Structure 1
Amino acid sequence: MGLTNASTGAGVLSHCGLHIEKETEQDKVIALAGNPNVGKSTVFNGLTGMNQHTGNWPGKTVANAQGKYQHHGTNYIMVDIPGTYSLIANSAEEEVARDFICFGGADAVVVVADATCLERNLNLVLQTMEITEHVILCVNLLDEAKKKKIKINLKELSEQLGIPVVGMSARSGKGFQELMDTIEALTQTKEIPSPLRIRYSDEMENAISLIEPDVDKVLQGAVNSRWVALQLLDNDDSLLSSMKNYLGFNLLEREEIVEKVTQAKEALANVGIPQEEFRDEVVIRIVRTCEEISRETVRFEEEKYAERDRQIDRILTSKITGIPIMLAMLFGIFWITISGANVPSAFLSKALFSLEQPLVNLFVWLSAPDWLRGIVVDGVFRTLAWVISVMLPPMAIFFPLFTLLEDSGYLPRIAFNLDHFFCKAQAHGKQALTMCMGFGCNACGVIGCRIIDSPRERLIAILTNNFVPCNGRFPTLIAIITMFFAGAIGGAFESVVSTLILTAVIVLGVFMTLMISRLLSKTILKGLPSSFNLELPPYRRPQIGKVIVRSIFDRTLFVLGRAIVVAAPAGLVIWVLANITVGEMSILAHCAAFLDPFARLMGLDGYILMAFILGFPANEIVVPILIMSYMATGTLTELENLSELRNLLVANGWTWLTAVCSMLFCLMHWPCGTTCLTISKETQSLKWTFASFAIPTVTGIALCMFVAGTVRLFGLV
Structure 2
Amino acid sequence: MGLTNKSTGIGVLDNEIKINKLTPDDKIIALGGNPNVGKSTVFNNLTGLNQHTGNWPGKTVVNAQGDYSYKNNNYILVDIPGTYSLMSSSVEEEVARDFICFGNPDTTVIVVDATCLERNLNLVLQTIEITSKVVLCVNLMDEAKRKGIEINLTKLSKKLGIPVVGTSAIKSKSLGELMEEIYKVSHNKITLNPMKIEYEKMIEDAINKIVEPLKVLFQDKLDHRWVALKLIEGDKSLLKSISEYINCSLTEEKKLMEKVDDARVLLKDEGIDAEKFRDKIVSKLVKTAEEISRDVVFIKNNNYNSFDRKLDKYLTSKKFGIPTMIALLFVVFWITITGANMPSQILSDGLFYIEDKLTDLFVWLDAPNWIHGLLVLGMFRTLAWVVSVMLPPMAIFFPLFTLLEDLGYLPRIAFNLDNYFKKACTCGKQALTMCMGFGCNAAGIIGCRIIDSPRERLIAIITNSFTPCNGRFPTLIAIITMFFAGFFSGPLQSVFSTLILTGVIVFSVIMTLSISRILSKTILKGIPSNFTLELPPYRKPKIGEVIVRSIFDRTLFVLGRAVVVAAPVGLIIWSMANIYVDNISILTHCANFLNPFAKLIGLDGYILMAFILGFPANEIVVPIIIMSYMATGSMVELDSLDQLRTLLVSNGWTWLTAVCVMLFSLMHWPCATTCLTIKKETLSFKWTLISFLLPAATGIVICFIVTQVSKIFGLI
After the TM superposition, which residues 588-599 of structure 1 pair with which residues of structure 2 at under 5 Å, given as runs?
588-599=587-598
Q: Distance in 2 between matches of 1:573 and 1:15?
A: 40
Task: Give the letter for the 1:572 counterpart.
Answer: L
Q: Does the CA-based 8 Å contact 1:166-1:175 persist in structure 2?
A: no
2:337 paired residue number:
338
Alpha-carbon distance in structure 2 between the residues aligned to 1:534 and 1:180: 32
> How much has 1:659 moved relative to structure 2?
0.2
What is the correspondence of 1:615-634 to structure 2 with a 5 Å cutoff? 615-634=614-633
Distance 1:488 1:596 in 2: 31
Distance across 1 between alignment mates of 2:125 and 2:441 = 39
- In the TM superposition, what is the alpha-carbon distance from 1:143 to its structure 2 partner? 1.4
Using the alignment, how far apart are the partners of 2:331 and 2:568 within structure 1? 36
String of CA shifts for 1:440-470, please: whole Å, max 9, x gaps: 1111111111111222111111111100011
Query: Deviation string for 1:652-706 (max 9, x for gaps)?
Result: 0100000000000000001111111111111112111111110000000000000
Secondary structure in structure 2 of the residue aligned to 1:256: helix
Deviation at residue 56 of structure 1 after TM alignment:
2.3
Matches within 5 A, 1:141-180: 141-180=140-179
Counterpart amino acid of residue 366 in structure 2: S
Instruction: Give the 3 Å change call, closer, same or farther, for CA 377–423 of structure 1 in structure 2.
Output: same
Q: Which residue of 2 aligns with 1:520?
A: 519
| TM-aligned CA deviation for residue 190 of structure 1 | 5.3
1:462 is paired with a residue whose SS is helix
Q: Deviations over 1:534-567 (max 9, x none)?
A: 1111110111111112111221122222222222
Aligned position for 1:202 = 201
Match of 1:643 in 2: 642
2:463 match: 464
Aligned-residue offset at 1:131:
0.8
Q: Say if 1:710 and 1:158 are closer, same or farther in 2 by CA, change over 3 A.
A: same
C-alpha spacing 1:217/1:190, structure 2 compared with 1 (3 Å) = farther
Distance 1:631 1:308 in 2: 59
Deviation track 1:369-427 (CA, whole Å, cap 9, x = no partner) reads 12222222222222222222211111111111001001111011111111111111111
Q: For residue 176 of structure 1, report the CA deviation from its aligned partner.
A: 1.4
Aligned to 2:561: 562
Matched residues in 1 for 2:7 and 2:284: separation? Answer: 37
Larger deviation, residues 331-340 vs 253-262: 253-262
Letter in 2 for 1:330: L
- Between the aligned partners of 1:64 and 1:187, the Cα distance in structure 2 is 22
Aligned to 2:315: 316
1:613, CA displacement in angstroms? 0.8
What amino acid sits opposite 1:432 in the alignment? Answer: A
Residues in 2 aligned to 1:103 and 1:163: alpha-carbon distance in whole angstroms: 21
Q: Report if the CA contact (8 A) 2:8-2:95 is conserved.
A: no
TM-superposition CA deviations, 1:481-530 (whole Å, max 9, x none):
00000111223211111001111111111111111111111111111121
Please give the root-mean-square deviation of Cα atoms over the aligned residues, in Å.
1.5
Give 1:52 deviation, angstroms.
1.9
The residue number in structure 1 matching 2:356 is 357
CA contact (8 A) 2:115 2:143 kept: yes
2:9 and 2:99 in contact (8 A); partners too: no
Provide the C-alpha distance between the structure 2 equivalents of 1:274 and 1:453, rounded to a whole number of angstroms: 24
For residue 672 of structure 2, what is the amino acid of its counterpart? G
After TM superposition, the structure 1 stretch with the greater mean CA deviation from structure 2, 666-675 or 489-498, is 489-498
**Residue deviations 1:8-48, cap 9 Å, x none?**
xxxx9479763644642321111111011111111111111
Equivalence for 2:655? 656
**Could you tell me which amino acid in structure 2 is paired with residue 497 of structure 1?**
F
**Secondary structure of 1:502's aligned partner:** helix
Q: Tell whether the 8 Å contact from 1:30 to 1:106 is kept in structure 2 after alignment.
A: yes
Q: 1:259 to 1:13 in 2, by over 3 A?
A: closer
Partner of 1:127: 126
Which residue matches 1:401? Answer: 400
Partner of 1:303: 302
Instruction: Report the equivalent of 2:185.
Output: 186
Q: What is the CA–CA distance in structure 1 between the aligned matches of 2:532 and 2:656, rounded to whole Å?
A: 45
Q: What is the TM-score normalised by the length of structure 2?
A: 0.96
2:262 aligned with 1:270, yes or no?
Answer: no
Letter in 1 for 2:349: K
TM-score w.r.t. the length of structure 1 is 0.96
Distance in 1, Cα, partners of 2:368 & 2:410: 54
Cα deviations by residue, 1:616-674 (Å, 9 ceiling, x for unpaired):
11100111111111111111111000000000000001000000000000000011111
Q: 1:88, 1:70 → 2: CA distance?
A: 33
Q: Using the alignment, how far apart are the partners of 1:584 and 1:656 within structure 2?
A: 33
Matched residues in 2 for 1:191 and 1:475: separation?
A: 61
Contact map agreement 2:7 2:56 (CA 8 A) in 1: no
SS of corresponding position for 1:273:
coil
* 1:88 to partner: Cα distance: 1.1
Question: Identity over aligned residues, as a percent?
Answer: 65
* 1:18 matches 2:10: yes
The offset of 1:54, in angstroms, is: 2.3
* Structure 1 stretches lacking a partner, 5+ long: 1-11
**Distance (Å, rounded) in 2 between the aligned partners of 1:684 and 1:641:** 44
Shift of residue 308 of structure 1?
1.0
| 1:269–1:377 CA distance, 2 compared to 1 (3 A) | closer
Seen in structure 2, the aligned counterparts of structure 1 residues 15 and 477 have a Cα distance that, compared at 3 Å, is closer
Provide Cα deviations, 1:73-113, integer angstroms capped at 9, x if missing partner: 11111111111111111111111111111111111110000
Greater shift, 204-213 or 598-607, is seen at 204-213
Partners of 2:132 and 2:446 in 1: CA distance:
35
**What is the CA–CA distance in structure 1 between the aligned matches of 2:108 and 2:360, rounded to whole Å?**
62
CA deviation vs aligned residue, 1:165-210 (integer Å, no higher than 9, x gap)? 0111112324211111110011212554111111111222222112
Q: Distance in 1 between matches of 2:440 and 2:173?
A: 35
Unaligned segments of structure 2, at least 5 residues? none
Residue in 2 that maps onto 1:6: none
Secondary structure of 2:484's aligned partner? helix
Q: Residue 236 of structure 1 corresponds to which residue in structure 2?
A: 235
Partner of 1:614: 613
Cα distance change of structure 1 residues 58 and 349 upon mapping to structure 2, 3 Å threshold: closer
CA contact (8 A) 1:168 1:174 kept: no
Which whole-Å CA distance do the structure 2 matches of 1:17 and 1:496 have between them?
49
Q: Secondary structure of the residue that 1:53 maps to in structure 2?
A: strand
Alpha-carbon distance, 1:601 to partner: 0.3
What corresponds to 1:540 in structure 2?
Answer: 539
Q: Distance in 1 between matches of 2:422 and 2:546?
A: 32
Following the alignment from structure 2 to structure 1, what is the Cα–Cα distance between the partners of residues 8 and 146? 45
- Give the equivalent residue in structure 2 for 1:215: 214
Secondary structure of 1:419's aligned partner: helix
Tell whether the 8 Å contact from 2:8 to 2:98 is kept in structure 1 after alignment.
Answer: no
Aligned match of 2:84: 85
Pick which of 512-521 and 369-378 moved more: 369-378
Q: Which AA in structure 1 matches 2:201?
A: D
1:55 and 1:65 in contact (8 A); partners too: yes
Instruction: Count how many residue pairs are aligned between Structure 1 and Structure 2.
Output: 706
Moved more, 683-692 or 467-476: 683-692
Corresponding position of 1:95: 94
Aligned to 1:325: 324
- Separation of aligned partners in 2, 1:198 and 1:156: 17
For the residues of structure 1 that align with 2:56 and 2:366, how far apart are their CA atoms? Answer: 53
Q: Is this contact kept in 1: 2:30–2:109, CA < 8 A? A: yes
Residue matched to 2:693: 694
TM-fit CA distance, 1:64: 2.4
Whole-Å separation in 2 of the counterparts to 1:666 and 1:115? 47
Moved more, 122-131 or 229-238: 229-238
Quick one: distance in 2 between partners of 1:16 and 1:450? 17
- 1:345-386 per-residue CA deviation (whole Å, 9 max, x = no partner) reads 122222222233322221111111122222222222222222
Contact 1:16 1:245 in 2 (8 A): no
Alpha carbons of 1:566 and 1:272: their partners in 2 closer, same or farther (altered >3 Å)?
Answer: closer
Other structure's SS at 1:355 match: helix
Distance (whole Å) between structure 2 residues aligned to residue 228 and residue 15 of structure 1: 20
Contact 1:133 1:192 in 2 (8 A): no
Query: Does 2:483 align with 1:491?
Result: no
Task: Give 1:59 shift.
Answer: 2.1
